[in-house]
Amino acid sequence: MGHRMILIGAGSTIGRPLVDVLKKEDIELTAASRSLRRLPEGVKGLQLDYNNPQMMELALKDKEVLFLKLPISTDFHAQTLNILKAAKLNGVRFILGMSVLGASAHSPYMYQRVYGEWEEILAESKMRYCFIRPNILMQSLDNWYHDELQAGTVYLPEGEGRVSFIDARDVADLAAKILMHPMIFHRQVLEVTGQRAFSNAEAVSFLSFHASRRIEFVPVTEAMALKSPNMRDLSIWEREFVLSRHQAVKSGQLSWISGHYEKIMGRPPRRFEDFCAEMGEQLKSPPPPDKSADL
Q: pLDDT (tens digit, 9 = 90+) per residue, 80-103?
A: 999 999 999 999 999 999 999 999
Q: In this predicted structure, what is the pLDDT of residue 37?
A: 87
Q: In this predicted structure, what is the pLDDT of residue 219?
A: 97
Count of Cβ atoms closer than 10 Å to residue 61 Cβ: 14
Statement: residue 1 has pLDDT above 60: no
pLDDT tens-digit readout, 176-226: 999 999 999 999 999 999 999 999 999 999 999 999 999 999 999 999 999
Please report which confidence band the pLDDT of residue 285 belongs to, taking 50, 70 and 90 as the band edges: low
Please report which confidence band the pLDDT of residue 121 belongs to, taking 50, 70 and 90 as the band edges: very high
Q: Which residues are within 8 A (CB) of 241 and not within 5 positions of it... i.e. 6 or more apart?
A: 72, 110, 111, 114
pLDDT tens-digit readout, 213-261: 999 999 999 999 999 888 988 999 999 999 999 999 999 999 999 999 9
C-alpha distance from residue 47 to each of 92, 114, 175 (Å): 19, 25, 22
Q: Which residues are within 8 A (CB) of 86 and not within 5 positions of it... i.e. 6 or more apart?
A: 53, 56, 57, 59, 60
Q: Do residues 191 and 253 touch, judged by C-beta distance below 8 A? A: no
pLDDT tens-digit readout, 132-177: 999 999 999 999 999 999 999 999 999 999 999 999 999 999 999 9
Q: In this predicted structure, what is the pLDDT of residue 41?
A: 83
Please report which confidence band the pLDDT of residue 295 belongs to, taking 50, 70 and 90 as the band edges: very low
Statement: residue 292 has pLDDT above 80: no
Statement: residue 293 has pLDDT above 70: no
Statement: residue 288 has pLDDT above 80: no
Q: In this predicted structure, what is the pLDDT of residue 289?
A: 38
Per residue in 126-152, is it b (16+ CB within 10 Å) or e — as a string? ebbbbbbbbbbbbbebbebbeebbbeb
Q: Do residues 193 and 101 touch, judged by C-beta distance below 8 A? A: yes
Q: Enumerate domains of the chain plus CATH numbers.
A: 4-135+166-192 (3.40.50.720)
Whether pTM > 0.85 for this model: the answer is yes
What span, in angstroms and rounded, lies between the C-alpha atoms of 209 and 292? Answer: 28
